[in-house]
Structure 1
Amino acid sequence: MKRWLKRPEGSNWGDFGADDQVGRMNLITPERRRAALAEAREGIAFLLGLPLDHPKGQIFPGRFPPRLAATSAGADRPMYDWTPSGGATDVVNDDRVTMDLQYSSQWDGLSHYGACFDADDDGIAEHVFYNGYRSDTHFTQPAEGVAPHAHALGIERLAQTCVQGRGVLVDVRDAGTPPHGRIGHAALMRAIEAQGADVAEGDLLCLYTGYGDLLLRDGAGVNRVALAACPGLDGGDPALLDWIGRSGLAAICADNPMVEKIDGLQRCTGKAMLPLHEHCLVKLGIHLGEFWWFGGIAPWLAAHGRAHFLLTAPPLNLPGAVGSPATPIGTV
């Protein structure tokens, strides 16, 4: 049975197949991956992720830093500085972690963000995700003793693509329009042109806003005025959304919390609070990377007159999760 009779305007549902679950990652073909490998000319690798205990506090309610603990060796004995009985000389440390999967540097899976949309064309809006997958059919909802699970669009689908392609870094630290620092289509095009970047189909666009630098320096205690000065994409700009659709981008990755910049979570009747999330994750299957860090690779690229590099950034291969920590690597 077809999951939808009507798809959202401007979406690509069905274009990669009725059962597709990775969206525009399909555009990173073997040929494009080989071309991306050619960008690794010097063999120098840069870490593009924050430490997973950053931003060292709560920026989003309900998301907490990782909590490490020792695993148990039995009888309430932690397996830390542990030696087995019988006189063996082994000394073992073993630990575990409890963490929120979207606390630090992360990928938003296509199962992370959906929309209320009348996919049945019957006047009643359903809770739908990319390619028409639905909350009531393709997700196990959390309940007492029941863990949530995305049976479609889980983050393991992204992991299976290996997420390796050509990264395009655009420094947008001075591109935002006052007073809110939003970057619309015109401002983004100026930044791309000024830096000689070529954004092509299948590319992974990386936006250097400076936010990650502040978090690495100051954590969640960073001055709010300084944070407000860091820009983000303007999801309310139709020209920007149109360009994202036409560009063929496989993903957008930024060093800020949401890629897009909004004035708080305003609940507007009939509209998405996060229009860029809706456009990318729901309509087009474009994954979003958040809380990345470009403070190491950006100066190197600028000094060498380059904007492109090999980007490798698979998420955790964790079936059923809707997001994942990431440890992205940029190789030049």
Structure 2
Amino acid sequence: MSNPRWTQRPEGSTWGDFGPDDQLGRLNLLTDAKRLQGVAEVQTGKAFCLSLPLDYPGGNGLNPNRHPPVLRPTTRSGGVNYNFLFRRLIEGATDVLSDDLAILHLQYSTQWDSFAHAGGLFDVNGDGVAEAVYYNGFAAGEAVVGPSSAADVGVPATNPQATAEAMRGVSTCGARQLGIEHMAATSVQGRGVLINLRKHFGDGRTLIGYEQLMQAMQADGVVVEPGDMVCLYTGFSDVVLGMNRQPDSEALHNACAVLDGRDERLLQWITDSQLAVLIADNYAVEAYPARQAAVACCAQLPLHEHCLFKLGVHLGELWYLRELADWLAANGRHRFLLTAPPLRLPGAVGSPATPVATV
């Protein structure tokens, strides 16, 4: 198998399996029939919001590069467009208007990772030179384009040209391929399956490999079929909520069950199960930092590499799953209809989400 962008692909990857220019990966398994399977799980009509408030976890203790959202009013007629009296423009008008904007780190809270979020160094041409590429061989610097330096991010004082282009809707950087908008266009709707790790492993930090995952699934009778969207409930987001926007970084990094990205049998199960997406209520889905690898040079986020880079499996992080998990456990169920599109924001490498589970 070959491709205009690569002559060899990573071992165990799905590059090219869904077509030479595929940007959806395992979302191709969310067929009409799969959506009908999800709809068939709706028995009561009860719905659950699976998003944290987007100003959680608070601060930047989980990731120093990500900060809480900032809301600001837009301006109008030289003033603030909050509680704006329309009669200032039209005599006798009774309208009172408010309008705002957000400065938003797209992967701060409940989120999706696009395939442009995590790539790898790989010798796509077979010439002995590893290149920076993403899923399906899309190249860094071509498919995913960043500014030349931090000074070019678009701050008006340092880069008026970039700011002017942004005002016109011209993207100066971002994902030209593999952006989150491709995920959004599929609607991300189908059958969700919840695995309740907290029930079996409690609130302490526990590395979950293949054996532990199978133990939990078999105990609860959970079955994952091709195209299912798998949600892992660990209790991590419950701990985050309990900290009331003042996260204790050390406590969070030592809380709850988390997948062991170094477990090769676990990674193989993700491959063999043909799950469509993998979701958790924790940060990163996998343990970070990962266990020390047997070789000196390897991915520091091995599950990200396996899912986003090799398989084309989107990752969902920091979802709120407690109420859904409690209801499913009380009713002897683990399947539901899941609807979870990201923002249809062209070029974004990640996105907040407000997923809905319907039972």
Question: The TM-score by the shorter chain falls in which range?
Answer: over 0.9
Work out which of the residue numbers 20, 24, 31 in structure 1 matches 2:33.
31
Q: 1:262 offset after TM fit, Å?
A: 2.9
**Counterpart selection for 2:278 from 252, 264, 268:** 252
The answer (yes or no) to whether the contact 1:175–1:183 under 8 Å persists in 2 is no
Q: Deviations over 1:214-273 (max 9, x none)?
A: 111213424734651311111100100111001000000000010001336979842000
Structure 2 residue identity aligned to 1:159: A
* Inter-partner Cα distance in structure 2 for 1:93 and 1:117: 50
Percentage of matched positions with identical amino acids: 49
Q: Which residue of 2 aligns with 1:71?
A: 74
Cα RMSD (Å): 1.9
User: Is 1:168 aligned to residue 211 of structure 2?
Assistant: no
* Correspondence 1:1-332 to 2 at 5 A: 2-58=4-60, 59-75=62-78, 77-84=79-86, 85=88, 86-143=91-148, 144=152, 145=159, 146=162, 147-173=172-198, 175=200, 181-218=206-243, 219-222=245-248, 224-225=250-251, 227-263=253-289, 269-332=296-359
Q: CA deviation at 1:274?
A: 0.4
Change beyond 3 A, Cα 1:12–1:89: same
Question: Which residue is equivalent to 2:166?
Answer: none
Q: Offset at 1:195? A: 1.4
Whole-Å separation in 2 of the counterparts to 1:24 and 1:41:
27
Q: Aligned pairs, how many? A: 331
Moved over 6 A (4+): 264-268
Shift in CA distance, 124/175, structure 1 to aligned 2, threshold 3 Å? farther
**Amino acid of the residue matched to residue 48 of structure 1?**
L
Structure 1 residues without counterparts, runs of 5 or longer? none
CA-CA distance at 1:139 after TM superposition: 2.1
Alpha-carbon contact 2:210-2:263 (below 8 Å) kept: yes
**TM-aligned CA deviation for residue 291 of structure 1:** 0.5
Q: Indicate if the aligned counterparts of 1:210 and 1:230 stay in contact, CA closer than 8 A.
A: yes
Letter in 1 for 2:120: A
What TM-score do you get using the length of structure 1 for normalisation? 0.95
1:220–1:276 distance in 2 versus 1, CA, 3 Å? farther
Distance (Å, rounded) in 2 between the aligned partners of 1:306 and 1:178: 22
Contact 1:165-1:312 at 8 Å conserved across structures: yes
Query: Retained in 2: the 8 A contact 1:102–1:324?
Result: yes
For residue 142 of structure 2, give the secondary structure of its aligned residue in structure 1: helix
State the shift of 1:179 in Å.
8.5
Q: Which residue of 1 aligns with 2:169?
A: none
Q: Does the aligned pair in 1 maintain the 2:203–2:235 contact within 8 Å? A: no
Take 1:307 and 1:178, find their aligned partners in 2: how far apart are those partners?
20
Secondary structure (helix, strand or coil) at the match of 1:135 reads: coil
Amino acid at match of 1:71: T
Partner deviation per Cα, 1:165-190 (whole Å, 9 max, x = no partner):
11101111255599951100011011
**Conserved? CA contact 1:24–1:250, under 8 Å:** yes
Change (3 A) 1:266 1:108: farther
Contact 1:176/1:232 (<8 A) preserved: no
> Given residue 211 of structure 1, which amino acid in structure 2 is its aligned partner?
F
| Letter in structure 1 aligned against 2:136 | N
Residue 309 of structure 1 contacts residue 331 of structure 1 at CA under 8 Å; is this kept in 2? yes
Partner of 2:156: none
Normalized against structure 2, the TM-score is what? 0.88
